[in-house]
A and B are shown apart, each in its own frame.
Chain A
Amino acid sequence: MRGHMRRGATTIAKVSALLVSAATLAACNTEQSMLHPAGEDAAAVNSLFWAMAIGAAIIWIIVMGTTVYAVLGKKRPKSEKFADRFILLGGVAFPTVTLAALLVFGLALLPDWVRADAPDLRVHVTAEQYWWRIAYEQPDGSMVDTANELFLPQGQTAEFVLNSTDVIHSFWIPTLGGKIDVIPGRTNLWRLKPTEAGVYRGVCAEFCGPSHALMAFPVIVEAQADFDARLAREAAPAAASNDLFLATGCGACHAIRGTEAAGRVGPDLTHFASRRTMAAGTLPISAENLAAWLLDPDHIKPDVRMPGYDSLGQSERDALVSYLLELR
């Protein structure tokens, strides 16, 4: 009796452990999941998904039920007239109506490609192997350059002006809305309206080379006031200049606004240390990760344009790391 109870308790424990882990897994996915929408487009696609999933389940049950009934029911054949009608209604009329309804529902979700109304915010996003160049268009037309991290005001429509400099990439923030290809030599426009504050993850969704999977970016949706403050911080010049950084030629590729470093080959580093990730969503920013990156970036991110600086001394690399961490 006691053994039986214990076995019952173990089963309950196992099942609840399973449920808990399933719930945790689901929680893990919210920052990059279309099933946890935090934007208008994603919510619409989410509702379409559930309508289709539930509809498909119902239809599947009906079809299976009919099949089981036909095979096991041992009923006599109905009249030929009934069979004709059944096929016409169930096999022609029903799919036509259902698919047409789905088509209308789906087409209604397609965005208006060109919209006359101005967006609340315009962000220029350039995809490059394997990172994202991001520039916020100010009301006066000037740009605030940053990279590999996108921040958006909650409840505002942001328009993305998308370009690529090398191969075809795809811009996708699943939690906020659908995706669009980023094509060299062509400007694509895309609008998203985030509805819920939070931190999400955007990715490149078109294979673009060996480090395609390491081309992501955090997306921070926050209240308008917080966004304005953040944009003002981004627009400000850097905290400090550094002679070693300049002499080593880092400025050939990286811009640090407010210093002589004005390169436009790689990501702008003006406020590098305030970002959540380095190497385009690849690693969290830390002194160890930066040191490893300076030593051998190819090891962390194959085919990356950044050269390794094992040619510098350890102390020089450490000095560069501390400078980069100052750039808040």
Chain B
Amino acid sequence: MNGRLREIFGRVKPLAIGAACGMAFLVALPLTGVLDSSAVPGSNALVDWYRQTSARQSIALRSALTAVPDLADPAMVARGAGHYELVCANCHGSPEAAPARFAEDLSPEPPRLAAWRPDARLFQTVKYGIRHTAMPGWPTALRDDEIWAMVAFLRLLPTMDAPTYADLAYAGAEPGSCASCHGSDGQGRDGAFPRLDIQSPQYLADALNAFRDGSRQSGTMMAAARQLTDGEIAELATYFGRGVELPMGGSELGERIATLGLTERDVPACLSCHGDKGRPGYPKLDGQPVDYLVTQLELFQKHGDERGGRFAKVMAKAVEDKLEEGPHRLEPEELRAVAEYFGD
């Protein structure tokens, strides 16, 4: 018995020593300083190959099981285009314009996104970014809906001509401005972007502040609001917060939830806060795109007050249930009915 053990040990010993040396080599490699970390393009082709291959393979592996939702909705494409123009085009360029000058100095240089890529890999890249490059991940982990909108746009980008792009990304307004997505008077655009003109200045200022300090979760709006000063926020809130009143109405179910709530499931009446007598800090919902309202309700339902916003705790207690499979306090058809009651 003892002899047999010794025999096995004798056979394994060289392998074990080899493995230990290999590990020691891998640990020692960065310590030697041999790996080139300079950002001058082409300074070390081998290291570039090593890192780019690992990045590509990592994205392929991690996106292998991602389920791709329906991406045909033109509203998603428009939202993706708006964010692309505001943030991504600086480095990746657009059908209209070359990348900004600084992007040429990045290493590796950001690609022009002219080649087709699988949807799931686009999602993986946009959500998590790429290490050792200038590509950042999405600023919030809660908003996969925004990332899929970006994918819906990116899959059309390789074949998109400049006029189509301009129309989708800013529709005649100044590129990258608030109006490019939310309309010149804050009336929204193509049912893809929420209206601002129905809100009070107070609500818009609270929202912009929450986006700017990162407490309200939206990759797009966080990027937009971070550029704003206090003075600009006040000015924009007054300009867009026009308190426009729009009609609402919908199914009997939607009306019942809006006016009476679902008391048996502790869902209060929406209009107690979102009605005419609500605080100026509470958002108005009448005329908002239905898909926007559905998305926001789902965020509160799934993430509670992590969704962010000044009164997020109130909405979280009103609809949150965190039950993946249900039963939900607001079932999907009820959620849509109430969104359609308020929405346009």
Which of A128, A246, A305, A310 is in CB contact (< 8 Å) with B317? A305
Residues in A with CB closer than 8 Å to B269 are: 252, 263
On chain A, the number of residues with a Cβ less than 8 Å from chain B's Cβ atoms is 19
B314 touches A165 (CB 8 A): no
Question: Among the listed stretches B15-23, B121-129, B195-203, B274-282, which one makes contact with chain A, having 4 or more residues with CB under 8 Å of it?
Answer: B274-282
* B245 on the A face (CB < 8 A): no
B264 touches A165 (CB 8 A): yes
Which of B267, B314, B317 is in CB contact (< 8 Å) with A311? B314
A251 touches B313 (CB 8 A): no
Q: How far is the CA of A310 from the CA of B215 in the complex (A)?
A: 15
* A242 on the B face (CB < 8 A): no
On chain B, the number of residues with a Cβ less than 8 Å from chain A's Cβ atoms is 21
Q: What is the interface of chain A mostly: helix, strand, loop, or mixed?
A: loop
A246 touches B277 (CB 8 A): yes
Q: How far is the CA of A307 from the CA of B309 in the complex (A)?
A: 14
Q: How far is the CA of A218 from the CA of B273 in the complex (A)?
A: 32
B261 touches A265 (CB 8 A): yes
Nearest A residue to B314 via CB reads: A307
Shortest Cβ gap from B283 to chain A (Å): 12
Q: How far is the CA of A309 from the CA of B310 in the complex (A)?
A: 10
Shortest Cβ gap from B5 to chain A (Å): 55
* B266 on the A face (CB < 8 A): yes
Nearest B residue to A253 via CB reads: B268
Nearest B residue to A246 via CB reads: B277
* B272 on the A face (CB < 8 A): yes
- 15 of the cross-chain contacts (CB-CB < 8 Å) are A246-B277, A247-B277, A247-B278, A247-B279, A249-B278, A252-B269, A263-B269, A265-B261, A265-B266, A305-B266, A307-B316, A307-B317, A307-B318, A308-B313, A311-B281
| A-binding residues in B (CB < 8 A) | 261, 263-264, 266-269, 272-273, 277-279, 281-282, 310-311, 313-314, 316-318
- Can you add 5 more A-B contacts, CB < 8 Å, to A265-B268, A309-B314? A247-B278, A249-B314, A263-B269, A306-B317, A311-B314
| B-binding residues in A (CB < 8 A) | 128, 165, 246-249, 251-253, 263-265, 305-311
